[in-house]
């Protein structure tokens, strides 16, 4: 990468960071290109040259945030902590991320109809999420939490529903940690099950 390309990349990164900060501070709807340009110390023309429109900039911000969250998820999957703790962290992280996205007004249904976003999320799920979750399932089997007679496909479907539940407004509420812990318990042991080797207490 030559000097010009490096400067361009740094400037683009600065714009994305400024936009993200402003969106979280004021919300997407209340943030305009002039504000973002001021925050990033660039001209409005530069932002339009890089991203085409405010919608294009919002898209880039969200996709970059997804990449950052993915790095955290990968770190969690590859860590040495026990399977139940990984699931609990995933629930807490999902709830926190959803809460942050809602506060910044990122969860606009129109955004998720964007063909670029739809294609990105579909590819992300197929190429990254599924292989990593299969590693998590393998760990769960080795540690005795997931029965060997239940297929990976059934567990993946169950995890998908569980992930959706973690985005429910009641689960997202900052003070509802106990609720999330209870739901995680039900994820592992069901209504009538007990912890392996324990009494369920």
For residue 69, the domain's CATH number is 1.10.357
The pLDDT, as a whole number, for residue 80 is 92
* Same domain for 45 and 73: no
Q: How many domains is the chain built from?
A: 2
* Same domain for 118 and 64: yes
The pLDDT, as a whole number, for residue 115 is 85
For the entire predicted model, the pTM comes to 0.70
With CA atoms as reference, report the closest residue to 196 among 78, 82, 80, 92: 82
Give the residue ranges of the chain where pLDDT is below 50. Answer: 197-201
* Same domain for 112 and 94: yes
* Same domain for 191 and 115: yes
The pLDDT, as a whole number, for residue 163 is 65
The pLDDT, as a whole number, for residue 125 is 82
The pLDDT, as a whole number, for residue 138 is 93
* Same domain for 37 and 83: no
* Same domain for 115 and 61: yes
* Same domain for 160 and 118: yes
DSSP 80: -
- Spatial neighbors of 66 by CB under 8 A, at least 6 apart, are 124
Residue 71 structural domain:
54-201
């Amino acid at each position: 990468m030559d000097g010009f390309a490096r400067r361009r990349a740094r400037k683009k990164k600065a714009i994305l960071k400024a936009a993200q900060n402003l969106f979280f501070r004021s919300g997407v709807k209340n943030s305009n290109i002039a504000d973002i340009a001021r925050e990033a110390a660039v001209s409005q023309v530069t932002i339009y040259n890089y991203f085409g429109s405010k919608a294009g900039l919002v898209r880039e911000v969200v996709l970059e945030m997804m990449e950052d969250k993915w790095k955290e998820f990968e770190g969690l999957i590859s860590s040495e902590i026990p399977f139940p703790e990984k699931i609990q962290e995933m629930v807490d992280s999902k709830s926190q991320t959803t809460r942050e996205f809602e506060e910044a007004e990122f969860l606009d249904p129109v955004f998720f109809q964007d063909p670029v976003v739809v294609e990105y999320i579909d590819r992300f799920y197929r190429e990254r999420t599924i292989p990593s979750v299969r590693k998590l399932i393998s760990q769960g089997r080795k540690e005795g939490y997931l029965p060997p007679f239940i297929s990976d496909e059934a567990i993946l479907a169950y995890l998908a529903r569980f992930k959706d539940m973690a985005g429910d407004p009641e689960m997202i509420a900052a003070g509802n940690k106990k609720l999330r812990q209870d739901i995680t318990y039900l994820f592992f042991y069901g209504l009538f099950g007990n912890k392996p080797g324990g009494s369920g207490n």
